[in-house]
Amino acid sequence: MRFYDADSGHVFVDGKDVRTYDKDELHRMFGVVFQNDVIFADTLKENIVFGRDVDGDSLVTAAEDARARDFIEAYEDTYEHEAAIHGANLSGGQRQRVLIARALAAHPQILILDDSSSALDYKTDAMLRKAIAQHHADTTMIVVAQRISSIMNLDDIIVLEEGNIIGHGTHEELMNSCQMYREIYRTQMGEMK
């Protein structure tokens, strides 16, 4: 998204160096949920639409895919429900689902999820990943996560330790080649049993 430029080498999107894109055009290609993103003191609808041209069907579909529709529509005023500043009147999982709906609402080409499901229970996280895989299959996803279950079905996984790549491949390849990945998997998946 060019918040930072590469110190060396190049980053390409659709075969074109990102430095050659108009920044607004480049930003419209992305849906992003940063780890410490913000919910504004506004309606849930406006927090999802985020000033973009998003129709009602896309709003509801994004909320559904983000697993936010049920709790939003449980409010008497549904999408017009007012969120407090920083989403203080929402649980951590509800905030994350509204933010994911925001990222999905404009049908991004590239979706970046930076530890965006850490407050979700495993079942909701699994349903969210399934909905994204089904309804956003053409979207390139970049996922930063601590939970193995959030990334184990992705095409390419990079394992970092202190900023260095210590493993790279699919889940199966990493289970065979990366001791750290195996240890994390066994620890986390053991917690689920």
**Which domains occur in the chain, in start order?**
22-145 (3.40.50.300), 155-193 (no CATH)
pLDDT in tens, 86-126: 999 999 999 999 999 999 998 999 999 998 888 888 899 88
* DSSP assignment string, 98-167: HHHHHHHHT--SEEEEESTTTTS-HHHHHHHHHHHHHH-TTSEEEEE-S-GGGTTTSS-EEEEETTEEEE
Query: Looking at the predicted structure, is the pLDDT value of residue 35 above 80?
Result: no
Q: pTM of the full predicted structure?
A: 0.88
pLDDT of residue 193: 46
